[in-house]
Amino acid sequence: MSESTNAPRHPDGRFRNVVPRRRQGIMEMLALFWKVSTTKPKTAVPDQPLPVQPVTRADIESAPDASLWRLGHSTMLFKLAGRYWLTDPVFSERAAPVQWAGPKRFHAPPIGIEALPRLAGVILSHDHYDHLDYDSIKRLIPKADRFIAPLGVGDRIVRWGVDPAKVRQLDWWQSTDVEGLRLTAAPSRHFSGRSLSDGDRTLWVSWVIEAAGLKLFFSGDTGYHDDFKTIGERFGPFDVTFVENGAYNAMWPEVHMLPEETLQAHLDLRGRWLVPVHNGTFDLALHPWYEPFERIADLARAAGVRLATPMMGERLALAQPQEGADWWREAMPAPALPLTHPAR
């Protein structure tokens, strides 16, 4: 387990994981591209609209403190210590360099950027397109008081027009106190880059969020790693963990977790409630779009883990989470039913 203060780097300044990520050879990359292009199942994309609960600014402002709204993928709106915080904002139609190609949303955001209340801050985990959206950041500039980012990601958004005075950049294990929140950038196991030439030049992190007597964990994107235990020992137990559970495959285990690993990460973190994220919005893998929900629900039930699965736009009370309904089943194809797990 890593006890270092800083994320490791190569001599050329590029960041790396504690356990270096295996580089795919050209033939392996071509084989992966061929498989994704030719064998992706039709169930990777829903064939009917997903249920979404619309949210208004009045709903948000009248809600009690310690509330959360999941807006899609890894974009979440927190109401903590009387202020509002947004994670990994992606409001565009596609998670891609252009808006005419690339992964398209399965559902519209439950609320638009213009309708959001004033934000105390935007919390960023890394620079991939499904977590850092140029158009969303540009539109959030007049809405957000500050941007909390990993090393290098802050420099990127400054180049996009964010005032440098509003940006705080953190390395692994560094903390900052902002508007009643204590935010700590913790390790994750991933990579970064938005083109063929800038790989791993910015850092990837998970976040420990402490506020209003609550301890929360947001994984960002990550493969399973031993530092989950370290984070749990240093900061746990956590009231709620928001852990990635989607876009996984046995072909890329170092950068995304299988549902079994999602559950283990939650246990390592000493979490009380698990909210699976990074699912339900974009087609980024080969599995059926609904599979992450089904698998983690089965695993959590078998392990006795308390699982909360709020619908997109549904408010979650962070101090007393509710399980929520199996809302994804409203859009599952008939052959995938009957239930693979009993109602929770």
**Quick check: is 16 in a domain?**
no
Beta bridge partners of 167: 147
C-alpha–C-alpha distance, residues 220 and 234, integer Å: 19
- Side chain identity at residue 333, one-letter code: P
pLDDT confidence of residue 344: 46
**Quick check: is 15 in a domain?**
no
Domain count, the chain: 1
**Quick check: is 79 in a domain?**
yes
- Round the CA-based radius of gyration of the chain to a whole number and report it: 19
**Quick check: is 27 in a domain?**
no
**Quick check: is 292 in a domain?**
yes
pLDDT confidence of residue 337: 60
Q: Which candidate, 317, 316, 315, 311, places its Cα nearest to that of 331?
A: 311
**Quick check: is 19 in a domain?**
no
**Quick check: is 22 in a domain?**
no
CATH code for position 144: 3.60.15.10
State yes or no: cis peptide before 338, omega within 30 of 0. Answer: yes
Show the domain range for 211: 51-336
Average pLDDT for consecutive 10-residue bins of the chain (344 residues)? 70 90 66 69 92 98 98 98 97 95 95 98 98 98 98 98 98 97 98 93 98 96 97 98 96 93 98 98 95 97 98 97 94 69 47
- 203 is written with which tokens? 């850092």
pLDDT confidence of residue 1: 35
Give pTM, 2 decimals: 0.94
**Quick check: is 180 in a domain?**
yes
